[in-house]
A and B are shown apart, each in its own frame.
Chain A
């Protein structure tokens, strides 16, 4: 089940890459380093400005289904697809009637 299509574009989408490197600092001033895994997972943070009630309901309906356990496809503005899951439940406030402000939506690649 893909990330819902909303009526607003995000204010910004932030990508961060997981640091899977292991290192051993040594007294001599250098360190041993090696990667821990072959694939580097990304964390994607999406921030929206105010969203109308319809978009809020679409997001909540989506998270009701996938929760923080089922993976889904998120497609960025360059049509690159990522298989991700939500890291945390949504937190949102009604700024004024019918318009909702969501905290940053955080997703991580499986």
Chain B
């Protein structure tokens, strides 16, 4: 399926002689919610308001085989300094971590790269004194939220991402209970993520 890239990215991609490198960014969310941001470059990169630290790693080729094996990828990260060792020891090899790989053009860091992102789960990990090797696989669809939204009259859908894009509350109150009253107290009812028109008694499943 063709990717929906911006015109600037398409132009940069198609140039015979390119001015800027294409870099692989890693967003690693470990099971303890530690978020590591790394780039395989000779200097740090700021992307999306976050600093990605220059770090030596290499990505293997995406494996797609016909013998019923799960598609996956090998990620090798330098372990010479032992920077990863402490995480791997405390978190059982960081198995089940989410790793998002984003390919960006260093000269076009403000473009939309959502089409050039892919997220993997860490399936297994091996570590030597020089390399930490992660076997990456597809996320388990059975653990994804389905249906995506729950339609409730009395509970806001955006409470798990309070002050996020959908909520957009910018005031000083630190937490939200997700109720209509909480939303009123914040003067943010125009963005309330519940469905007040629904019957508030019982529940109904629909597909």
Report which A residues bind B (CB closer than 8 A): 20, 30-41
In the complex, residue of chain A having the shortest beta-carbon distance to the beta carbon of B45: A38
Report which B residues bind A (CB closer than 8 A): 16-23, 41-43, 45, 106
Asked if B41 and A33 make an inter-chain contact with CB atoms under 8 angstroms apart, the answer reads no
Asked if A35 and B18 make an inter-chain contact with CB atoms under 8 angstroms apart, the answer reads yes
Partner of B41, one of A30, A31, A34, A38: A38
**Least CB distance, B196 to chain A, in whole angstroms:** 51
- For A35, what are the chain B residues with a Cβ–Cβ distance below 8 Å? 18-21
Asked if A39 and B17 make an inter-chain contact with CB atoms under 8 angstroms apart, the answer reads no
- For A30, what are the chain B residues with a Cβ–Cβ distance below 8 Å? 16
How far does the alpha carbon of A40 sit from the alpha carbon of B42 in the complex, in Å?
8
How far does the alpha carbon of A34 sit from the alpha carbon of B21 in the complex, in Å?
6
How far does the alpha carbon of A18 sit from the alpha carbon of B104 in the complex, in Å?
22
Asked if B16 and A38 make an inter-chain contact with CB atoms under 8 angstroms apart, the answer reads no
- For A34, what are the chain B residues with a Cβ–Cβ distance below 8 Å? 17-18, 20-22
- For B19, what are the chain A residues with a Cβ–Cβ distance below 8 Å? 35
Partner of B42, one of A31, A32, A33, A39: A39
- For A41, what are the chain B residues with a Cβ–Cβ distance below 8 Å? 42
